[in-house]
């Protein structure tokens, strides 16, 4: 299974654009996952942890995402 690149941004257009760019550039080597909030991000991380698949890279919009 490919390692995960996890993108977190609350702006749908930015999230979509970054996702497209990363899939285009790195999709052959990584699974690109997107989260539109801190809560969604944590949910994805919990599921990845249960499968023993920690993401090697986080791209986070730290100014706007609210992580509980």
**Average pLDDT across the chain, whole number:** 85
Whether 5 and 30 have beta carbons less than 8 Å apart is answered as yes
What are residue 31's phi and psi, to 5 degrees?
Answer: -90, 125
Torsion of CA 58, 43, 23, 26, to 10 degrees: 50
Considering only CA atoms, which of 4, 61, 53, 3 is closest in space to residue 36?
61
Structure tokens at 29: 């080597």
Give the Cα separation of 9 and 66 in Å (integer): 10
pLDDT at 43 over 80: yes
pLDDT recorded at residue 64:
55
């Amino acid at each position: 299974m490919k390692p995960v690149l996890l993108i977190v941004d609350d702006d749908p257009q930015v999230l979509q654009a970054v996702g497209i760019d990363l899939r285009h550039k790195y999709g052959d080597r990584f699974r690109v996952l997107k989260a539109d909030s801190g809560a969604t991000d944590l949910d994805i991380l919990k599921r990845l942890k249960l499968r023993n698949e920690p993401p090697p890279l986080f791209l986070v919009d730290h100014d706007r995402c609210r992580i509980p």
